[in-house]
Amino acid sequence: MDTSKERAKYIPGTYAKPGPGAAEIADRYIREWDQARLERQNAVPGGKIPYTICFSRKIGVGALEIAEILGNMLGFRVVDRQIVEHIAAHAQLREKTVDLFDEGYPGRMRELLSLAFGEKAFIESDYTRHLFATLFSLGGLGSSIIVGRGAHLLLPRERLLAVRIICSKEYRAERLARILNIETEEARGRLDQIDKEQRDFFKRTYSKKDALPYEFDMVINCDYINKPTSVAQIIATAFEEKFETIPDDRR
């Protein structure tokens, strides 16, 4: 039920529908990956990481709702910004996740970093190193839909479908106003701050100002295609088209 209390707890950039918190979901995913390791099912033959879908979006467009629907369609886990940051910020969880990745793909972490950034050594902060290690590990431990944090810039392009979901600021403001039960003008003000924080993150973390179209396999404008189920189906079709023969290693 969409109550005022639930709306008050809503954080833009997260899924508005009530559900388990990031800590609970992260713990569950890591237990599942650990069990898969014990059963020797989590590593992909040939050392390739599983197929992954990465969403890049303007916060407030509704990407997480779309991701949840798509995850149910494909049987993929959904990993959002809160889950990524929860794992990256907690040493025990981060180390467990990286260890699972390293066991399945020995030496791949350094290789992936080199492919993503060449010989650049600009990964200066502990936060950034932890974030990258977490994103690489999550991408390697099982087919997932990763929403946000620039995951599409890190994971091997031949193993992922990179999707950009956009819309007008008015669409985002109206949607946020409905969720939070606030005036549209107030929602616009909140989005201004959120957009600034997102720009600062990409500049600090990836030395990038904007998301360029060529980074993505597809861009969907929710001003015109905005039914979450329809958007999810379009992405599912694109995924099947890009990876025409999907073996059992996708999960």
Which of 82-86, 142-146, 212-216 shows the lowest per-residue confidence on average (mean pLDDT)?
82-86
Confirm whether 128 is domain-assigned: yes
pLDDT, average across residues 6-13: 47
Segments forming the whole domain that contains residue 52: 25-40+48-239
Residue 19's pLDDT is 57
Closest C-alpha among 156, 123, 175, 180 to residue 243 = 156
Confirm whether 177 is domain-assigned: yes
Which of 146-150, 175-179, 208-212, 229-233 shows the lowest per-residue confidence on average (mean pLDDT)?
208-212
CA–CA distance, 174 with 36 (Å, rounded to integer)? 43
Confirm whether 69 is domain-assigned: yes
Please count the residues of the chain: 251
DSSP codes of every residue in 196-222:
HHHHHHHHHHHS-SS--GGG-SEEEET
Contact 138, 79 (CB under 8 A): yes
CA–CA distance, 151 with 132 (Å, rounded to integer)? 8
Tokens representing 67 are 């991701």
Confirm whether 107 is domain-assigned: yes
Furthest C-alpha separation in the chain: 54
CA–CA distance, 161 with 87 (Å, rounded to integer)? 23
E strands present in the chain: 52-57, 77-79, 144-147, 160-166, 218-221
CATH number, domain of 168, equals 3.40.50.300
Confirm whether 92 is domain-assigned: yes
Confirm whether 14 is domain-assigned: no
CA–CA distance, 145 with 167 (Å, rounded to integer)? 20
The mean pLDDT of the chain is 79
pTM of structure: 0.78
Confirm whether 17 is domain-assigned: no
Task: Name the band, by pLDDT with cuts 50, 70 and 90, for residue 164.
Answer: very high
**Model pLDDT for residues 104-117, shown as the tens digit of each residue:** 777 677 777 666 65
Residue 2's pLDDT is 43
pLDDT at 153 over 70: yes
pLDDT, average across residues 135-145: 81
Confirm whether 247 is domain-assigned: no
**What total of structural domains would you count in the chain?**
1
CA–CA distance, 69 with 51 (Å, rounded to integer)? 18
> Tokens 């992405």 sit at which residue?
235
CA–CA distance, 236 with 41 (Å, rounded to integer)? 24
